[in-house]
Amino acid sequence: MNDMASQSFDSGASPAAAQGEAPDNARLPIGVVLEISGAGSQIAFDLQRLNECMDDDDPSIVLAGQVGSQIKIRVGDAWLLASVRDQRKDRRNEAGIIAHIDFLGEGGEEKLTGRITGFRRGVTRYPVPGAMVYPASTQDLEQIYASDGRANITIGRVFPTRDIRAGLYVDALLGKHFALLGSTGTGKSTSAALILHKICEAAPNGHIVMIDPHGEYSAAFRQSGQILDVSNLQMPYWLMNFEEHCEVLLTSDGNELQVDMDILAKCLLAARSKNRLAETMGKITVDSPIPYLLSDLSNIIQDEMGKLDKATSSAPYMRIKSKLEELKADPRYQFMFSGMLVGDTMADFIGKVFRMPGNGKPISIIDVSGVPSDITSTVVAVLSRLVFDFAIWGREEQQRPILLVCEEAHRYVPNEKNADGSSVARVLSRIAKEGRKYGISLGLITQRPSDLAEGVLSQCGTIISMRLNNDRDQAFVKAAMPEGARGFLDSIPALRNRECIICGEGVAIPIRVSFDTLEEHKRPASEDPSFVQLWSSGGGEEEIVERVVLRWRSQG
């Protein structure tokens, strides 16, 4: 450490420490500023002072100087708060440590106690080299993390304090989208359930739609939400637009695909036009959500095929017709392609899915685990597009914001390497880019952020990152995070289960949080099985196998 730093520490030495008494660590410097730049700077810590802080009663002061901890710097009559990004040994001074810090914000000083007060983000006045560095105490952090009066939900405890509550500003969290990231087994599903339960409690007339690909969340929201799966979803097939019809009904590729698309467009428009609604609407398009009968579509395809001359191949018509018959006959598709009677159920379906009215259950869990895998992404695309289209066509009405939460988001919005050209990726990407103009909030939950489409994560204003074990995932998240959170991000691989780093719009400054414990009946069914417990007793296996085989065969 340079001479200036040594002199500064000498001048700040406490009489109490000299006499062998416990020093008042909160009021004594632990380092000095060496270098200043826009986003952060370089400081020197005194190793002896850091060791003295480790014996303090305050858990925040105990961690002073460590990577991810907060320190404060005096600038005139104010305090500047910063986060420690990294550390290295000072080669010129055995008792010194060099560290880089990221500035978080600034606040005034309480005259009696010396604590931070009136904290706000951003820096208006920078320190100069030689300025003193002090540990941030729990009382300082209480002021910094205290709510500024905006509507918020508390989800846990700020690390390393014992009792400071961690809050999320609901409007900022939802207004600019959010992402919850974490490797398998880190408590991601339980944490997602906790956040959604808190939002439902804060906004009992909310409109939340959650896509649940594994059927985990039904158990968590059985009392406070509407559970929709293949048994009661009753999703009308005619709500699909032309692109989604193509995904379900067309199996060809290359030049054949274009031929099939032209035929389907013509026949589908004719089928929609037969409905009385179409007559009242005037001009309709192939995308208009007008009910039509599958039998009408099949008959129109048959009629068109009958008009062909002998030289023209009927193969494209046969391909579409046979696929249509296959869907009608397959019991797995009954939730969507059911029955001969087709009524105009669009308003009822939207009201049920979007919770309008909510009747005390503001969240709908769409369990798509029972949906056949070849049309799962199309079902998610239809639901996501309905959210978007409803918001666009509802601009004249009083706004009813909708939160769309997508679990296993990397399956639906994959990066270029894994992209399959599906409509769901385009819809969700569009919601990420444009949704907030129309009052749509997007919540993405994933264990593989590096498999997400590149632009989608950067559209999320708040990122909640739990432990990520994969180097690629860690690097991807760091690239999406703001500069000031870099020190926190280095601790992502070291997070314990049900701990996270939160940064962005939803919090005042980046924080590390230990999530609250969720009551048993509010948890999702995502706990890992206990092999030892389940394998320690037997009995009833023959009946289990018979029941499973029966369900397997009947596909229900």
Asked if 456 and 406 count as a contact pair (C-beta separation under 8 A), the reply is no
User: Which of these ranges, 84-93, 175-184, 353-362, has the smallest mean pLDDT?
Assistant: 84-93
**Is 80 exceeded by the pLDDT of residue 251?**
yes
pLDDT for position 441: 95
Q: Which amino acid is at 494?
A: A
CA distance 231 to 338: 12
Q: 58: which residues sit within 8 A by CB, 6+ positions away?
A: 25, 26, 137, 138
Q: DSSP per residue over 389-414, as a string?
A: HHHHHTTTSPP--EEEEEETHHHHSB
pLDDT at 470 over 80: yes
Is residue 6 very low, low, confident or very high in pLDDT (cuts 50, 70, 90)? very low
Between these two residues, 530 and 80, which has the higher pLDDT value? 80
Note the pLDDT tens digit of each residue in 208-243.
999 999 999 999 999 889 999 988 888 999 999 999
Cα(167)–Cα(173) distance, integer angstroms: 11
More confident residue, 476 or 489: 476
pLDDT for residue 252 is more than 70 = yes
> Which pLDDT score, from 0 to 100, does residue 193 have?
95
Instruction: Tell me which residue has tokens 């056949």.
Output: 372
Q: Is 215 left (phi over 0), alpha (psi -120 to 50) or beta?
A: left
- Give dist(CA 33, CA 362) in Å, integer: 51
Helix (H) or strand (E) holding 318: helix 315-329
Q: What is the pLDDT at residue 12?
A: 45
CA distance 139 to 125: 23
- Is the model's pLDDT at 262 over the cut of 90? yes
Strands 178-181 and 462-465, how do they pair? parallel
- CA gap 386, 235 in Å, rounded: 12
Contact assessment for residue 525 and residue 101, using Cβ atoms and an 8 Å cutoff = no
DSSP state of 20: T
Question: What pLDDT score was predicted for residue 364?
Answer: 96
pLDDT digits (tens, 9 = 90+) for 392-405: 998 888 888 999 99
- Per-residue pLDDT tens for 8-61? 454 444 444 444 456 788 889 999 999 987 666 899 999 999 999 999 988 889
Residue bearing the bigger pLDDT, 530 or 539: 539
Instruction: Name the residue with higher pLDDT: 1 or 318.
Output: 318
Please give the residue that has the higher pLDDT: either 171 or 115.
171
Report the pLDDT averaged over residues 442-447.
95
With a pLDDT cut of 90, the percent of the chain lying above it is 45
**pLDDT-based confidence at residue 341 (cuts at 50, 70, 90):** low
Model-level pTM?
0.86
Contact between 98 and 88 under an 8 Å Cβ cutoff? The reply is yes
pLDDT at 1: 42
Residue ranges of domains in the chain, CATH in brackets: 3-145 (no CATH), 167-234+345-527 (3.40.50.300), 239-334 (no CATH)
Q: Is 540 helix (H, G, I), strand (E, B) or coil?
A: coil
The mean pLDDT of 261-272, rounded to a whole number, is: 94
Average pLDDT of the chain is 86
pLDDT value, residue 421:
77
The tens digit of pLDDT for each residue in 279-312 reads 888 788 999 999 999 999 999 999 988 888 776 7
